[in-house]
Structure 1
Amino acid sequence: MPNDTINDFNQQVIEEFRANRGRVGGYFEGARLILLTTTGARTGAEHTTPVAYLPDGADRILVIASAGGAPRHPAWYHNLLAHPQVTVESGAFTYQARAVVLKGEERDQAFARAVETDAGWAEYQERAGRVIPVVALHEIAGGPPNINAGSMGEAIKVVHDAFRRELSLIREEMNKETESGDHLGAQLRVNCLTFCHGLHNHHTGEDLGLFPFLADRHPTAAPTIERLREEHEHIAALVEELRAAIGTQDPAIARSEVERLTTELEAHLTYEEEHLIPLLDA
């Protein structure tokens, strides 16, 4: 594909991604996608590229420099080798990250997880005639990431929708896993545990920061805030049950727990939006 065509395609994806906070259609529909901004190795100019990613725990994600199976590494990979600090846009959040190329067994295990979720990665590797790099993007500590929203109320909805989308992806993956195997794939387990950790952090942040802020300014909201705190405890218990289910390696049990968490979490998120967004945006 000519460079001009690739650039036009990427720009269309970038615009759609930003307009819909991470959701895109067409070729990338249903994919986990970020916008990765690197600094040009030769020019020093910033370049933004849509890149698929894999969840990989609390503080990092993985990106794969496949270039669609091309024989050369993509430009963004050369850029981050020269300038490891990059900007990541997830749709809900924008944050700075440090790029680290995985080596040896760590790289091979990560790539095997990717192949387990999508055989296309193996096809890219075979076609490329090179070892396709896997890069970890470590979020740089320095305060909370920037939420891509124009108000506090909108920020709540943006973050909630990100959780909804990730849980929807996990449910789809869980359904495929249940139909095709008798154990949970390694990457699916990582996806679930990463989601659980992110949800825990979000609710902890609300309990320690948002709820005291609202209670101080809106005393009449005390019953609502108390209910939300109790729901956080209930959801935390469901998350622990999901963790235990993942440990059993039984996809049917894990799927049942994901469905239960989905139902309870959606009710919680909807109630919180209905009652807190008007207060935050008042």
Structure 2
Amino acid sequence: MHPTGSPAGRLAAVGNQMIEIHLWLSAELARLRESLDTAGDTLPTRDLRAHCLTFCAALGRHHTGEDGGAFRLLGDQAPELRPVIANLINDHEVVAGILERVETMLAGDTAVPLAQVRAELDGLAALLESHFRYEEKRLVAALNALSGRPGTAEELLGLTAPSDTAD
């Protein structure tokens, strides 16, 4: 559960919110991959395309938010983390390339073999699993130390941590 209230209070656990966002993004990617498995080899349905594009946009916002928000602040506050942050930003660029390929495949009117989409999402899942664990291991304590800094978790992380009300 993440704290509510003022931005300073919410930022007291920004690293923990990042973990919540990572868990949510991982679960959404798993759901997306499962929906591909049930679609067989047919052209993705409108709902499947919408789910995929929505996921891609959310993941992109999260990484853009980190790069321009939390990572910028951490680089200023903890210069020793700059090499870690540089590695994470490089990962974000690789992820953005995968997302762009998936979006291109799903945006067109031509038939796309679902095996191709599935392969991209499988690669994305493997990369994100490693990326999220590395980021959490190296940055959570430093992020949690950002309490009292101006801004919201959404500004720092690109997304608001999902609520605990959904099952």
TM-score bracket for this pair, using the shorter chain length: 0.7 to 0.9
Verify the 8 A CA contact 2:70 2:143 in the aligned structure 1.
no
Query: By how many angstroms is 1:278 displaced?
Result: 2.0
Identical-residue share of aligned pairs (%): 35
Deviation at 1:257, TM superposition (A): 1.1
Aligned residues: 137
Contact 1:245 1:257 in 2 (8 A): no
Equivalent residue number for residue 69 of structure 2: 209
* 8 Å CA contact 1:153, 1:277 repeated in 2: yes
TM-score by length of 2: 0.75
Deviation at 1:256, TM superposition (A): 1.2
Counterpart in the other structure of 2:134: 271
CA separation in 2, counterparts of 1:174 and 1:184? 8
Amino acid across the alignment from 1:154: N
Which of structures 1 and 2 has the larger relative contact order (alpha carbons within 8 angstroms, sep 6+)?
Answer: 2
Give the unaligned 5+ runs of structure 1. 1-18, 20-91, 95-143
Question: Alignment RMSD, CA only?
Answer: 2.2
Which letter maps to 1:202? Answer: H
Identify, as 1 or 2, the structure richer in strand: 1
Establish whether residue 158 from structure 1 lines up as the match of residue 15 from structure 2: no
What letter is aligned with 1:214? L
Deviation at residue 251 of structure 1 after TM alignment: 1.4
Pick aligned residue for 1:238 from 94, 98, 120? 98
The 3-state SS of whatever aligns with 1:182 is coil
Residue 57 of structure 1 is matched in structure 2 by none
Map 1:21-40 → 2, pairs under 5 A = none
Deviations 1:136-181 (A, max 9, x none): xxxxxxxx9xx8x971111010011110010010011000112xx5
Distance 2:49 2:144 in 1: 37
Q: Partner of 1:277: helix, strand, or coil?
A: helix
The answer to which structure has the higher helix fraction is 2
* Shift in CA distance, 270/240, structure 1 to aligned 2, threshold 3 Å: same
Corresponding residue for 2:57?
Answer: 197
Match of 1:218 among 72, 75, 78: 78
1:121-200 matches, within 5 Å, as 151-178=13-40, 181-200=41-60
What is the Cα deviation at residue 265 of structure 1? Answer: 1.3
CA deviation after TM superposition for structure 1 residue 255, in Å: 1.1
Distance in 2 (CA, whole Å) between partners of 1:190 and 1:176 is 16
Structure number with greater Rg is 1
Query: In the aligned structure 2, how far is the partner of 1:264 from the partner of 1:198?
Result: 16
